[in-house]
Structure 1
Amino acid sequence: MSNNRRDFLKKAGIVGAAGSTAILGAPAVVSAKETIRWRLQTYAGPALAEHVIKPAVDAFNAAANGEMVIELYFADQLVPTGELFRAMQKGTIDAVQSDDDSIAAPVDISVFGGYFPFATRYSLDVPVLFEEYGLKEIWQEAYGEVKGVTWLSAGSWDPCHFATVDPVRSLADLKGKRVFTFPTAGRFLSRFGVIPVTLPWEDVEVAVQTGELDGIAWSGITEDYTVGWADVTNYFLTNNISGAWCGSFFANTERWNALPDHLKVLFNMMMDSSHYYRQHWYWGGEAKLRTGGTKMQLTTIPDEEWRQVELEAYKFWDEVAETSPRAKRVVEIFKEYAGVMEKAGKPYRYS
């Protein structure tokens, strides 16, 4: 019995040793997954991107912990802004932060991206219109009909004001002004004699200095100071044609669908972070620089005269509404929302 026991222990020891050797010597069965890399191009130049997108991207990259990295590119760095939609469809770029209008999105609601005249008065109007009044579902529907690009999320930026070399104190002063602006805003402003000019974003400052441009209607005063336009213009018109720019995030559909669910959640949180940052940065900056800025003198067109611009905008709305049934739905939502805000009164609407 003792011999049997001894034989058993010997065999057990051999098996145990062999087993240990097999385990210790086995190759690793779990290998690190390859990092997912996306290229995201924004409409913004480097100085502006430091606020409107870079903090959110940096946070995403840190939280993704090596599973995914977003490589951020600035305005026109990989492809011209007007070609961004096609570049996403082809997979040249994985994601974009811009407005539908500027990237020439082939959807019937692209005209509402950027600065659609008088559609908003304040920055909070944009998220409310998308989340509470149905624009989100309309955008999803429209982009669902386009192959290769997925619309992800919309948010608000700053209001649209004129920054000019010479003062603007009446509608007559706008006539003949060569202005850098967005496509739809340019179409509307041309009714008042403005000459819209399209240029690469990085060339705008020099174009003002050389006299190719008389002004800019692309932002509020926060951006004028941030990107250097306040250094080459002398006047800031306090009237605006829109209370907030409407911009979005988009992605190549195949690349978006391939993301694990947890990274999609993280990407959505990144977009929300970007939207939130802009809400307070612009809102505070617009007031602070109007009251404390020293580079531009404020000018104003009298309310009764500016009312002509607002009334013309509502005619413009009706014209756009006739372009498609879906565009008409959007305009009807704008009208409904404007009516609710007017009835609500202060602080939702002061006039």
Structure 2
Amino acid sequence: MWLEPYIQPPVYIITKNPINSIADFKGLKIRAPGAYGKFLRNLGASPVSLAWNEIYTSMATGVIDGSIGSNMIDHRDGNHVEVAKYMYRLPLAGAQVLLAGAQVLPIIVNRAAWKKLPEDLQAVVRKATVIHAEEQLAMSKKWESEALAEMQKKGLLWSPEPSAADRKAWADASASLREEYAAQDKYSKQLIDILKNQK
């Protein structure tokens, strides 16, 4: 049984050259596993599957042009700014973040154990999961901010903010994947529905 999910801060793409528009993704070799790879392929990139510990060397030697990371902390801990200087912020919000802009971390409870709890305790657990989600997001944002400051000291630069047309292209690429994943099973559909209702 799903309780309150929480959404991590957005993922970012670090690249060796700036991304000035969606057109710059065409043919770009980006380490992007799974759904991230499908998403970037919709934008014209060439996703590459690599183990996490191969990213640094692959960017340094030109095997890949960039990498998508779970969050800013991953890029910092991988020392990626030493071999790629440009960070691209994904221009998505709300439901559009699915599969491209964030990690969604649901809290799952055994249904049989849940049903054994009286309603008043179920209410307590539900309230606790909401508090946990809010606190986790606040801590994640703090850690992201610290990671960003460290990377900027090492020379991190930002690609330009996406134009309105680029934001629309991202939203369109996101929409098709949301529907694809929603059709896979009832849990994926439930998650999509939750995200669609987020602002």
Residue 284 of structure 1 pairs with residue 145 of structure 2:
yes
C-alpha distance in 1, partners of 2:105/2:171?
A: 22
Which amino acid counterpart does residue 245 of structure 1 have in structure 2? Q
Gaps of 5+ in 1: 1-133, 138-153, 251-271, 342-351
Q: Residue 225 of structure 1 contacts residue 231 of structure 1 at CA under 8 Å; is this kept in 2?
A: no
* CA shift for structure 1 position 213: 0.8
Per the alignment, residue 259 of structure 1 pairs with: none
Per the alignment, residue 323 of structure 1 pairs with: 184
| 2:3 aligns with one of 136, 153, 156 | 136
Q: Deviations over 1:157-194 (max 9, x none)?
A: 44211100111111110111111123111111111111
Q: SS of the counterpart of 1:168?
A: coil
Q: Deviations over 1:193-225 (max 9, x none)?
A: 111211121111001111111101114434323
C-alpha distance in 2, partners of 1:324/1:333?
A: 15
Per the alignment, residue 117 of structure 2 pairs with: none
**Structure index of larger Rg:** 1
Q: Which runs of 4+ in 1 moved over 6 A?
A: none
**Pair 135,169 (structure 1): closer, same or farther in 2 beyond 3 Å:** farther
**Pair 276,173 (structure 1): closer, same or farther in 2 beyond 3 Å:** closer
* CA shift for structure 1 position 325: 3.4
**Pair 239,333 (structure 1): closer, same or farther in 2 beyond 3 Å:** closer
> Which structure 2 residues correspond to residues 165-184 of structure 1 after superposition, within 5 A?
165-184=16-35
Q: SS of the counterpart of 1:217?
A: strand
Which amino acid counterpart does residue 210 of structure 1 have in structure 2? T
Q: State, as a whole percentage, how many aligned pairs show the same letter.
A: 19
C-alpha distance in 1, partners of 2:195/2:6?
A: 16
Gaps of 5+ in 2: 109-131
Q: Deviations over 1:75-120 (max 9, x none)?
A: xxxxxxxxxxxxxxxxxxxxxxxxxxxxxxxxxxxxxxxxxxxxxx
C-alpha distance in 1, partners of 2:177/2:153?
A: 34
Residue 194 of structure 1 pairs with residue 45 of structure 2:
yes
Q: Residue 72 of structure 2 contacts residue 147 of structure 2 at CA under 8 Å; is this kept in 1?
A: yes
**Pair 135,202 (structure 1): closer, same or farther in 2 beyond 3 Å:** same
**Pair 321,238 (structure 1): closer, same or farther in 2 beyond 3 Å:** closer
* CA shift for structure 1 position 230: 0.7
> Which structure 2 residues correspond to residues 139-288 of structure 1 after superposition, within 5 A?
156-240=7-91, 242=97, 243-247=101-105, 275=136, 278-285=139-146, 288=149
Q: SS of the counterpart of 1:319?
A: helix
**Pair 332,218 (structure 1): closer, same or farther in 2 beyond 3 Å:** same
Residue 296 of structure 1 pairs with residue 143 of structure 2:
no
TM-score (norm 1): 0.41
Aligned residues: 166
C-alpha distance in 1, partners of 2:189/2:106?
A: 21
Residue 311 of structure 1 pairs with residue 172 of structure 2:
yes
Which amino acid counterpart does residue 57 of structure 2 have in structure 1? V
Q: Deviations over 1:221-250 (max 9, x none)?
A: 343233200111021113355453235799
TM-score (norm 2): 0.68
Q: Which has the higher contact order (CA 8 A, sep 6+)?
A: 2
**Pair 245,322 (structure 1): closer, same or farther in 2 beyond 3 Å:** closer
